[in-house]
Chains A and B, each alone.
Chain A
Amino acid sequence: MDMNTVILMLAATVAAAVPLIFAALGELVVEKSGVLNLGVEGMMIVGALFAFIVAAETGQLWLAAMVGALAGASMALIFGFITLSLMANQVATGLALTIFGVGLSAFIGQGYTSVALDGLKELSIPGLSALPIVGKLFFAYNILVYLALAAFIAVAWFLYKSRAGLILRAVGESPSSAHALGYRVIRIRYLAVLFGGAMAGLGGAYLSLAYTPLWAEGMTAGRGWIALALVVFATWRPGRVLMGALLFGGVTIAQFHVQGLGVEIPSQFLSMLPYMATIVVLVLISRDAGVVRLNAPASLGQPWHNELH
């Protein structure tokens, strides 16, 4: 392999990692507040569809990305209402959100399956994008890629360096104590859930606006679920979420290059790779029960209501 191919592969890895970075960072914040939302896949695909529709109808890609985030947040609001205000089981509600989102997007999106879109273009930064090697590696992505990176820095700062992040983590560790200290547990959890939805929606928007600028039923292909696995794999730490997403981006890209190397493997087995890799990393991380128990927010997945405590 020559240098050029390696650089192209690395750049493709970053591009494939971006939807996972968005969705997993969002879910990380949600889970840090003590809420487990399994509906990432549903929020993501609804975000992808609505972003695509706006882009196809108006041509405004920025507006489209924002609408994608908004669509994801709207889905999250349904989840928040049922689990936070009505205290329903979070696992079941998250599943319902995914089933609903997949159905809703297939229903609304039917008229858009053959629409072509001019996707989001790579930036061209004068003086930088044209540089050898570094130009392609760092300065020639579309704007959403940089937004994902900015989101990573913002989330890491928020969780560990800001007062609000400290409160959010306290709510996730012990909602009753946080409540006793006068913090509005339910409101904080609502905000976290909405943020998670917006991020999943952005991840979806990136898919339908930039990664593969088209709409296809089920186009998120399990990325929302992989994002959920990434949060566990990362033991709820933003830095590891980023690393994990890049790792999965690499696995996704590897499947396209293995055949190019002359290895005779049926394409279906290569397509399985990201899903198999998810299982493998989950096993590796959960093998040591202590690691998960120490790092998972203590109240994760448990309903809480101030009438009950």
Chain B
Amino acid sequence: MIRLEPRPEPSRAMVYLSPLLAMALMLVVGMIVFTLLGQPPLKAFHAFFVEPINDWYGFGELLIKASPLALIALGLAVGFRANIWNIGAEGQLTMGALAAGGMALWLQDSTGVWILLPLMFIAGALGGMLWASIPALLRTRFNTSEILVSLMLVYVAGFILSWLIHGSWRDPDGYGFPQSKMFESNALLLILIEGTRVHAGVLITVVALMLAGVFFRWSLTAFQMRVAGLAPKAALYAGFKQKKTVWIGLLAGGAAAGLAGTAEVAGPIGQLLMPISPGYGFAAIIVAFVGRLHPLGILLASLLMALLYLGGESAQMQLGLPAAVSGVFQGMLLFFLLATDVLIQFRVRWVGKTSVGAA
């Protein structure tokens, strides 16, 4: 019989080991699932985790999927550290992409690339922040749950995008398809690596990773927000401003999601259509947790999650499995992480039947 026993001190080692343990468990269970589906497990493993990245092009695909995941997860981590639960990054991404795309459609015939692209990214960040400011305002002003409001706004953002690309922003020469005109080259991001789709938007993520590293480590605001998350009462007594924490927590996520959305439409997509993201806004929540809300951890977790996306596509082509298998793996990963996290505070003891009765 297994019993949990509180550790005198939280285990530092388990903080780093449990994500690895979660990954290992996900792989083991994944292999079992593949076997049950009648796939030879090694072949499936190869198709899922090796095949997608065994050439430069595939590696590039890994980077351009990891990039939005890491960027959004960093923004969300700012809030999560303070127990601000922005789960609507998917909607903020959509609104950012919409604002940037609108800018491109409006100015691409009259403006050069060096003005247009920065404008698009500013518009994108503002679009995401605008969408995140709604739950922030309602939370600070009316004490409304930011979880439910930010999530509801994901659906609303989707309908706004749908309305625009079915209506005034629809490409008149697009045979009636609900999508905008293709962007001109001055509204598109530069390709960084020849022969791949790796675009300059990846650089934004790299900069964000470094900035977040500095911010989390040295800024007083980040410290105050961390305290607000870990010990809300202590933060209150210390006079840290609660409203500021809510606003920064939500706006950081909104800005990051908006930038990620901009990089998607100015990068691999090149126009506005539905959907803009294959659930990056939700997957980034997992990335933030698996990465322990820490920039380096988020970088590694984003690569793993990107691989799960690519693995799903590859499993579809190679094994004829639905690509949605990615979502199953991603969900499992978070389950296993949350489950193994118990080992940080507790130690597992094997005890005989008799002592269980006494406990």
Contacts and interface: CB of A to CB of B under 8 A. Distances in A.
B152 A104 contact: no
A211 interface: no
Most buried by A among B6, B134, B282, B339: B339
Contacts of B289: 92
A287 B6 CA distance: 40
A95 B325 contact: no
Chief secondary structure at chain A's binding surface = helix
Interface stretch (A13-21, A124-132, A278-286): A278-286
A100 B329 CA distance: 8
A99 interface: yes
Interface string B1-15: 000111000000000
A152 interface: no
B147 A104 contact: no
A107 B342 CA distance: 29
A89 B338 contact: yes
A93 to B, nearest CB: 5
Contact of A279 (B4, B152, B342): B152
A88 B334 contact: no
Contacts of A101: 331
A269 to B, nearest CB: 7
A307 B4 contact: yes
Contacts of B331: 96-97, 99-101, 103-104
Interface string A178-221: 00000000000000000000000000000000000000010001
Interface stretch (B115-123, B157-165, B190-198): B157-165
A251 to B, nearest CB: 13
Contact of A225 (B151, B332, B338, B345): B151
Contacts of A93: 335, 338
Contacts of B326: 103
A87 interface: yes
Interface residues of A, number: 48
Interface string A20-61: 000000000000000000100000000000000000000000
Contacts of A271: 159
Nearest to B4: A307
A103 to B, nearest CB: 2
A222 interface: yes
B292 interface: no
A131 B57 CA distance: 69
B148 A278 contact: yes
Contacts of B328: 100, 103-104, 107
B138 A279 contact: yes
Contacts of B282: 99
A229 B151 CA distance: 11
Contacts of A167: none
A228 B325 CA distance: 27
B324 A82 contact: no
Contacts of A247: none
A286 B335 contact: no
A104 B282 CA distance: 15
Interface string A80-121: 011000111101110111011111101100100000000000
A283 B335 contact: no
B85 interface: yes
Contacts of B345: 87
Contact of B6 (A38, A95, A276, A307): A307
Contacts of A89: 338
A222 B155 contact: yes
A103 B324 contact: yes
A282 B327 contact: no
B322 A276 contact: no
Most buried by A among B289, B327, B341: B327
Interface string B154-195: 011001101100110000000000000000000000000000
Interface string A285-303: 0110100100000000000
A229 B148 contact: yes
Contacts of A81: 339
B335 A96 contact: yes
A82 B152 contact: no
A156 interface: no
B159 A272 contact: yes
B285 interface: yes
Given A99-B282, A103-B324, A272-B155, A82 B166 contact: no
B327 A103 contact: yes
Nearest to A81: B339
Contacts of A88: 338-339, 341-342
24 contacts: A81-B339, A86-B338, A88-B341, A91-B147, A99-B285, A99-B327, A100-B330, A103-B324, A103-B329, A103-B330, A104-B328, A104-B331, A106-B322, A106-B324, A222-B152, A225-B152, A272-B159, A275-B153, A275-B156, A279-B152, A283-B144, A287-B142, A287-B143, A305-B4
Given A97-B331, A103-B327, 20 more contacts: A82-B338, A82-B339, A91-B147, A92-B289, A96-B286, A99-B286, A100-B327, A100-B330, A100-B334, A100-B335, A104-B327, A107-B321, A107-B324, A110-B324, A222-B152, A268-B162, A279-B138, A283-B138, A287-B142, A305-B4
Interface of B: 4-6, 85, 87, 134, 138, 142-145, 147-149, 151-153, 155-156, 159-160, 162-163, 166-167, 282-283, 285-286, 289, 321-322, 324-332, 334-335, 338-339, 341-342, 345-346
Identify the 3 closest CB pairs spanning chains A and B, nearest first.
A103-B327, A100-B331, A106-B324
